[in-house]
Structure 1
């Protein structure tokens, strides 16, 4: 029987974070959901740790859009849920998703909370969630889920090196507003902690503004990797 939900997890060198997410999803898989890991050239034990805990392991070239499209291409579910490997999912979030999918929405996403401690990181998570609710645009950290038929009709994720999630959401939003779900997903705060909270926030704002002003995703990706200004 075709599953209602396929979970696609793009990963690269996520051996430290991935097992916790797979623990979170074990009950979902036992109830019939399909789990697909799409590895983008890991040099650690990411794939080995997933053996027996997912239904398929794909190995493709690195690139989040490429990885997610590869996973969606082999997914059997009526809905595809894209989850980053450093995400944590509560039982309450899974229950909420189950209830919403029974209503057959076109697409949706979750609110998000950052894993680190301190009021600044809590505020950032709250602002990401609020901005997404107002704009109808989600980031990849927010666990975007979409009806497979609609995803295929739009051609999936654009093969661009950055902002592929915003690009998909803009196209989906032209068809329907997203379902905005709580409780939030817990996503890693490592990039804020490693690069500095203020610097990371300013960089992300600058990259988004540049994208909306027409700067190419390839140029934005170079800036993002360097953590520098345009």
Structure 2
């Protein structure tokens, strides 16, 4: 029996350094295609991806737009949306298929491991695990996956400057269960290194609260971007 084709969609913007490690985690997977969606990188991201034998398309910048553009050209029965600095575990393809085959499951994601030392990051992983399993609210850095049919029925990712993964999962939860696969992706610790663990965690919670309170997502995105800029 032919296994359902999995399309892995990776949005990129200046990810030439991280992309080879991410793509190196894919060999051994069965019946998988990769679509890299570049949002106008100023480095060699597109050339690196093509050199590694994956399909590259160009898109307007913005993660939601890039993800939707990738889904448009993807030919898989299942879609996996993966960050460019996140590595998949061995056997991820089987874990995906088994997770989506469970009764009542409309989507899934992986457990999160962060590639960095320290007790603080282990606490972050623990918190993500609780949120994902008990609230069924995984985020994009965990590799969200679902069938192409379900994705089309939802209308794709909402056109937001950020929080697109949060909103997609909220909509998915209204349709069924969002399950967590038993294996973990390994994501870079660069986000926590840039702002610090506490500031990153607090900033994320402020973003979620602001979004749920109806604040303008574009203003929230500008605030978050400014927060990450180095101080003079």
Consecutive unaligned residues of structure 2, counting only runs of 5 or more, are none
SS at match of 1:122: helix
**Is the 1:35–1:54 Cα contact (8 Å) retained in structure 2?**
no
RMSD, aligned CA: 1.8
In the TM superposition, 1:35-114 aligns within 5 A as 35-103=34-102, 105-114=105-114
**Cross-structure match for 1:9:** 10
**Is the 2:100–2:146 Cα contact (8 Å) retained in structure 1?**
no
CA offset at residue 156 of structure 1?
Answer: 0.2
TM-score (norm: length of structure 2): 0.91
Is structure 2 residue 196 aligned with structure 1 residue 196?
A: yes
CA offset at residue 113 of structure 1?
Answer: 1.2
CA offset at residue 39 of structure 1?
Answer: 0.4
Moved beyond 6 Å, runs of 4+: none
Measured against aligned partners, the alpha-carbon deviations of 1:23-68 in whole angstroms (never above 9, x if no partner) come to 111222xx32111000011111111111153442111111000000
CA offset at residue 2 of structure 1?
Answer: 9.3
d(CA) in 1 for partners of 2:146 and 2:94? 17
**Cross-structure match for 2:167:** 167
SS at match of 1:27: coil
Q: May I ask how many residue pairs the two structures share in their alignment?
A: 226
Q: Structure 1 residues 75, 155: closer, same or farther in 2, change over 3 A?
A: same
Is structure 2 residue 135 aligned with structure 1 residue 135?
A: yes
SS at match of 2:177: coil
Q: Structure 1 residues 226, 107: closer, same or farther in 2, change over 3 A?
A: same
d(CA) in 2 for partners of 1:45 and 1:136? 37
d(CA) in 2 for partners of 1:168 and 1:110? 16
**Is the 1:2–1:77 Cα contact (8 Å) retained in structure 2?**
no
Q: Structure 1 residues 6, 54: closer, same or farther in 2, change over 3 A?
A: farther
**Is the 2:6–2:93 Cα contact (8 Å) retained in structure 1?**
no
TM-score (norm: length of structure 1): 0.92
SS at match of 1:15: coil
CA offset at residue 197 of structure 1?
Answer: 1.3
d(CA) in 1 for partners of 2:49 and 2:201? 32
Consecutive unaligned residues of structure 1, counting only runs of 5 or more, are none
SS at match of 1:191: helix
SS at match of 1:150: helix
| More displaced 10-residue stretch of structure 1: 16-25 or 219-228 | 219-228
d(CA) in 2 for partners of 1:32 and 1:54? 15
Q: Structure 1 residues 134, 102: closer, same or farther in 2, change over 3 A?
A: closer
| More displaced 10-residue stretch of structure 1: 114-123 or 102-111 | 102-111
